[in-house]
Amino acid sequence: MTSRLKTLGLFSAAALLLASGGAHAQALSAADAAVLAGPCANCHGTDGKSNGKIPPLAGRPAATLAAMMKAFKGETPPPGTTIMNRLSKGYTDEQIEALAKHFAEKK
């Protein structure tokens, strides 16, 4: 019984790794994405609903948000931006996709 459970456990762990494309890309749950998005609110507003000069994130298309985050990482970040070049480099493309989805769903 124990060994059967163990086998199943190992099997599902392997399946998870395969599904997420290997050890470097661990799947992010909605709860993980919400925590990942936590610090964004400090400038972009709670749930990405900005109350000032810093652009809002809430309800914008996921593809737009993800493309912007990836552009920030580049050697020539978009004009008028300051810290996002430094912050965006702290996130993998997979995390960026999860963040983009998280904020796109906030209405």
Binding site residues, other proteins, CB under 8 A: 26, 28-29, 31-32, 34-36, 38-46, 50-54, 80, 82-83, 86-91
88 residue type, one letter: S
* Least distance (Å) between residue 9 CB and other proteins: 16
CA angle, 26 then 57 then 43, to 5°: 95
* Least distance (Å) between residue 26 CB and other proteins: 8
Measured CA to CA, the distance from residue 36 to residue 13 in angstroms comes to 23
* Least distance (Å) between residue 50 CB and other proteins: 7
